[in-house]
Structure formats: C-alpha cells, structure tokens
Amino acid sequence: MNTLLDLGRQSLAGLRLLLVATLVLGVAYPAVVLGFGRVAAPWQAAGSLVTAAGDRTTNPSDAVGSSLLGQVVDDPDLFSNRPSAAGDGYDTLSTYGSNLGPEEPALIDAIRERQAALAEANGVDVADLPPDAVTASGSGLDPHISVAYAELQVPRVAAATGLGEDTLRRLVEAHTEDRTLGVLGEPRVDVLGLNIAVQQADGS
C-alpha cells in the first residue's frame, strides 16, 4: 500500500514538474525572447523582410523576400542564386542539403547537368564555373553567392537588360558583404539586394 502511495506521489510530483517546465520553457521564455526581439530588433524579429524598393519592412504583405533566405531565380535579366536541395528549391519546410557523398553518382550527374546548363547560359567554359554555381549549401536556403559567381553572370545580365557591365559590377560591389567579424567565411554577394538594384537601374 505504501509503495502505491509513494508511486502516486512521485507521479504527481513529476506531473507538476512537467507542467511548470512547459509553462516556463514553452510559454514564458519564448514570449519574453520574442517580446525582447520585437523591441530591440523589430526588423530581424519579423524575418528580415525586404520590399521591392529594397527597403526593410516588418509587414509580410509588402515584402518580396527575406535577406536571410535565398529564392529560385528563373529570370534571365537577374542574377541567379546557387542551387538548392531544400524541397523544390528554397523550401523553408525542407531545410537540408542532399546528404549525397562526393562519389555518389546521382550528385555527380546533377552537378554535370548544372555545369552544362550554366556554362551555356553564361557563355563560359565549364572550368570557369565556381563551386557554388553548381553545388547547394548545407541548408539549401543560402541567400548569398560568391563574388566569383556574381562576376561570371555580369555579361549575361548586361546582355539581357542592356545595362553596362561596369554598372553591374558596381552594383555587385555595392552588395558584397565582407567576412563575418572580418575573419569568418569569405566575401559574399546578397543576391536579393543585388537583383532589386538591377531592376531599379533597369527601370523595371
């Protein structure tokens, strides 16, 4: 009998602990963090959204994208993002890479197909394509491309839009971000910001 009573008390104590932990860690803590974020960094807390004019916004209905997320770019007048293995491409519900090893035939075939298509579209040799032009990032949501990949696309975008290559190179430079903290990673180009600038310069 005492054993059953002790078991009941322990179960009740465990249930109380579960409820308290749920309220504190599942409700109170997220609410405090969200509230702090909305006050201290409202743009970032809303998803780092960007309008068609290149301005920051916290209203999703005004946004054309997020500075944190890449998106599929099919318009030849614009700079292409890197490939994505997240769902059908940049699917935020499927944030992962392909998980294929470097010797996997399916990955090798996919890279060769991308190489052929990109080389033809940009009028370059396959050997001139930088790695990020044909390989997806680990998350599949990378909003940046390398400076080399952006520079490679300049002649194609210039021919499609009628904008001068020098103008486009200045836009690439203006939307190139430095290494994080000055030492981490490599300089990279913000594709969404760059494409918005291209559309503004093109008058579209």
Q: Which residue has the higher pLDDT, 120 or 137?
A: 120
Compute φ and ψ for 147, nearest 5 degrees.
-60, -35
| pLDDT more than 70, % of the chain | 96
Give Cβ neighbours of residue 41 (< 8 Å, ≥ 6 apart): none
Tokens read off for 46: 């809303």
Q: What is the pLDDT of residues 164-199, one digit of tens each?
A: 999 999 999 999 999 988 888 899 999 999 999 999
What average pLDDT does the segment 13-24 reach? 90
**Closest residue by Cα to residue 78 from 174, 12, 157:** 157
pLDDT at 159: 95
pLDDT at 80: 95
pLDDT at 67: 93
CB < 8 Å & 24+ apart, contacts of 46-52:
50/192, 50/193, 50/196, 52/196, 52/199
Contact yes or no for 160/21 (Cβ under 8 A) = no
Q: What is the pLDDT of residues 105-124, one digit of tens each?
A: 988 998 999 999 999 999 99
Decide if pLDDT at 24 tops 70: yes
Q: What is the pLDDT of residues 58-101, one digit of tens each?
A: 999 999 999 999 999 989 899 999 999 888 889 888 887 677 88
pLDDT at 204: 64
pLDDT at 1: 57
Q: Which residue has the higher pLDDT, 91 or 3?
A: 91
